[in-house]
């Protein structure tokens, strides 16, 4: 689906009586690093580090899947497009998974390639008619969000499933609840269009992983999420028990399982104990989780706007300064993933200088970073009408999912 033009977004803001419109990427950028938000969204500065491959691999995968589910790309051609994109990014553009260690970069790169190569060779197509890149809007405490759902479908029970493709490491448990904000926003958007929250299902498909359902010798059935390049390794113990019970050459088949990384090498009666599928991780849309995210989003947006006002009045970029604690906690992100180098990301530069000074026995950058206190943000009330319908945009695509 084509993205809304600036003119269309202006009309939407006018219709919704909002002076600005938010995207999840903008919100998350500030949440991750206020100073990165300052550089990107206030100063509109181009990133000066373009050699990080993580975003690129995600874009390659999203583009391939969008074209496949839009009918523009044949299933058997997905792997060729992925490998071509990988060669361009890694071999030609020399993009990196780790900027600081060639050995670590090569190790991560090899696993990433094997994982995504396996996905595009073995992806199990959705059995329901999918809709890709569908526009959605949501109002949260009077703030208007807009976005595009990677893919969604309606099942036989008329549940609407929102799926977000992910090339990152898997989220589970508490980590999933900490990372599901975008899915929550999309669910709120659908709910505001009149779809009951209990008919909305949200999930990620983690492309680097498979879900393996397997039967144990005691009759119990378990499910594990396994990195695709480690399927053969992960099944060694269980396969050994079934091979031994069947009287097979255990060492021979376990080696084949490792070498091929596929259960197809196993005898039929052993192989039938395993069901391998794509790795979908669902998040339960509880009131507690939804309310948590509404509060988090509302507080953060108020923080952004207060800082913007401070900067407009003072011109002092310190109002967006990241705290030293935040930078320390996210040191891998700033060293590897952030698109801004220390030359531009000044809080990170100050943090590195402080570390260097400490190595030299100095105590010079003791006060690096500043906290931006805002007492009002702790007392924000959530909008009690958060699920109240707002005027419709075109969501006719929801009705098409069953046709």
Kindly state the average pLDDT of the residues 62-76: 97
- Predicted confidence (pLDDT) at residue 374 exceeds the cutoff of 70: no
The Cα 200–Cα 138 span in angstroms is 15
Kindly state the average pLDDT of the residues 337-355: 95
Neighbours of 275 (CB within 10 A): 13
- Chain-wide mean pLDDT for the chain? 90
Kindly state the average pLDDT of the residues 48-58: 91
Tokens 């952004």 label which residue?
304
Tokens 């923080």 label which residue?
303
Kindly state the average pLDDT of the residues 221-240: 97
- Predicted confidence (pLDDT) at residue 370 exceeds the cutoff of 60: no
Longest dimension (CA), the chain: 79
Give residue 359's pLDDT.
Answer: 86
Contact 65, 86 (CB under 8 A): no
Q: How far is CA 364 from CA 104, 257, 342, 351, 368, in A?
A: 33, 57, 18, 11, 9
Q: Encoding tokens for residue 176?
A: 């999933």
Kindly state the average pLDDT of the residues 371-381: 37
Quote helix, strand, coil % in the chain, to nearest 5. Answer: 50, 15, 30
Q: How far is CA 403 from CA 129, 154, 350, 392, in A?
A: 8, 10, 57, 21
pLDDT digits (tens, 9 = 90+) for 304-319: 999 999 999 999 999 9
Strand-pairing partners, residue 192, are none
Contact 151, 131 (CB under 8 A): yes
Contact 183, 143 (CB under 8 A): no
Kindly state the average pLDDT of the residues 323-332: 94
Contact 78, 123 (CB under 8 A): yes
Give residue 399's pLDDT.
Answer: 58
Say what the pTM is.
Answer: 0.87
Give residue 397's pLDDT.
Answer: 56
The dihedrals phi and psi of 369, each to the nearest 5 degrees, come to 85, 150
pLDDT digits (tens, 9 = 90+) for 249-284: 999 999 999 999 999 999 999 999 999 999 999 999
The Cα 122–Cα 142 span in angstroms is 44
Higher pLDDT pick, 206 / 382? 206
The Cα 349–Cα 368 span in angstroms is 10
- Which residues, other chains included, contact 321 with Cβ-Cβ below 8 Å and sequence gap of 6+? 34, 35, 346, 347, 369, 370, 372
Strands (E), 97-199: 131-140, 143-154, 160-166
Helical packing angle, 54-69 and 102-122, nearest 10°: 10
Nearest to 12 by CA among 22, 2, 24: 22
Q: Encoding tokens for residue 343?
A: 């030359």
Q: Minimum mean pLDDT among 45-49, 175-179, 275-279, 390-394: which range?
A: 390-394
Nearest to 111 by CA among 230, 263, 232, 260: 230
Confidence of residue 217 (pLDDT cuts 50, 70, 90): confident
Nearest to 392 by CA among 201, 191, 197: 191
pLDDT digits (tens, 9 = 90+) for 145-196: 999 999 999 999 999 999 999 999 999 999 999 999 999 999 999 999 999 9
Give residue 360's pLDDT.
Answer: 82
Kindly state the average pLDDT of the residues 326-339: 92
Give residue 380's pLDDT.
Answer: 33
Looking at residue 326, the DSSP 8-state letter turns out to be H
Give residue 377's pLDDT.
Answer: 35
Contact 321, 369 (CB under 8 A): yes
Burial class (CB in 10 A: 0-12, 13-18, 19+), 21: middle
Number of residues that this document lists for the chain = 403
Q: Minimum mean pLDDT among 33-42, 200-209, 221-230, 362-371: which range?
A: 362-371
- Predicted confidence (pLDDT) at residue 394 exceeds the cutoff of 60: no
Confidence of residue 400 (pLDDT cuts 50, 70, 90): low
The Cα 196–Cα 316 span in angstroms is 46
Contact 280, 163 (CB under 8 A): yes
Tokens 């075109």 label which residue?
394
Give residue 1's pLDDT.
Answer: 61
Kindly state the average pLDDT of the residues 40-65: 95
Q: Encoding tokens for residue 135?
A: 């526009």
Confidence of residue 368 (pLDDT cuts 50, 70, 90): very low
Contact 113, 228 (CB under 8 A): no
- Which residues, other chains included, contact 147 with Cβ-Cβ below 8 Å and sequence gap of 6+? 23, 24, 135, 136, 137, 138, 182, 185, 186, 189
Give residue 320's pLDDT.
Answer: 98
- Predicted confidence (pLDDT) at residue 230 exceeds the cutoff of 90: yes
Nearest to 209 by CA among 239, 165, 178, 179: 165
Give residue 398's pLDDT.
Answer: 59
- Give me Rg for the CA atoms of the chain: 24
């Amino acid at each position: 689906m084509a993205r809304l033009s600036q003119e269309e977004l202006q009309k939407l803001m006018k219709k919704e009586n909002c002076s600005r419109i938010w995207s999840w990427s903008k919100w998350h950028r500030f949440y991750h690093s206020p100073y990165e938000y300052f550089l990107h969204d206030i100063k509109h500065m181009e990133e000066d580090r373009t050699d990080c491959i993580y975003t690129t691999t995600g874009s390659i995968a999203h583009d391939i899947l969008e074209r496949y589910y839009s009918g523009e790309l044949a299933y058997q051609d997905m792997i060729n497009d992925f490998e071509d994109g990988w060669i361009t990014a890694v071999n030609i553009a020399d993009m990196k998974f780790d900027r600081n260690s060639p050995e670590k970069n090569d190790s991560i790169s090899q696993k990433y390639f094997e994982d995504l190569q396996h996905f595009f060779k073995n992806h199990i197509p959705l059995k329901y008619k999918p809709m890709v890149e569908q526009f959605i809007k949501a109002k949260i405490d009077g703030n208007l969000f807009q976005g595009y759902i990677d893919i969604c479908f309606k099942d036989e029970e008329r549940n609407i499933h929102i799926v977000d493709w992910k090339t990152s490491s898997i989220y589970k448990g508490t980590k999933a609840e900490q990372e599901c904000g975008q899915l929550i926003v999309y669910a709120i958007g659908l709910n505001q269009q009149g779809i009951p929250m209990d008919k909305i299902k949200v999930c990620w498909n983690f492309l680097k992983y498979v879900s393996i359902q397997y039967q144990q010798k005691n009759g119990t059935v378990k499910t594990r999420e396994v990195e695709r390049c480690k399927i053969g390794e992960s099944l060694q113990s269980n396969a050994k028990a079934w091979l031994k019970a069947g009287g097979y050459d255990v060492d021979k088949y376990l080696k084949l399982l490792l070498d091929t990384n596929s259960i197809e090498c196993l005898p039929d009666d052993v192989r039938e104990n395993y069901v391998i599928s794509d790795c979908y991780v669902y998040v339960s849309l509880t009131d507690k989780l939804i309310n948590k995210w509404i509060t988090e989003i509302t507080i953060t947006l108020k923080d952004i706007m207060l800082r913007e006002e401070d900067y407009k009045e003072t011109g002092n970029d310190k109002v967006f300064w990241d705290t030293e604690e935040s930078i320390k906690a996210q040191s891998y992100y700033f060293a590897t993933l952030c698109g801004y180098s220390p030359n531009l990301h000044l809080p990170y530069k100050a943090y590195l200088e402080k570390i260097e000074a400490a190595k030299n026995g100095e105590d010079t950058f003791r006060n690096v970073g500043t906290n931006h206190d805002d007492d009002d943000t702790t007392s924000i009330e959530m909008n009690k009408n958060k699920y109240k319908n707002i005027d419709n945009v075109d969501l006719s695509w929801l009705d098409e999912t069953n046709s």
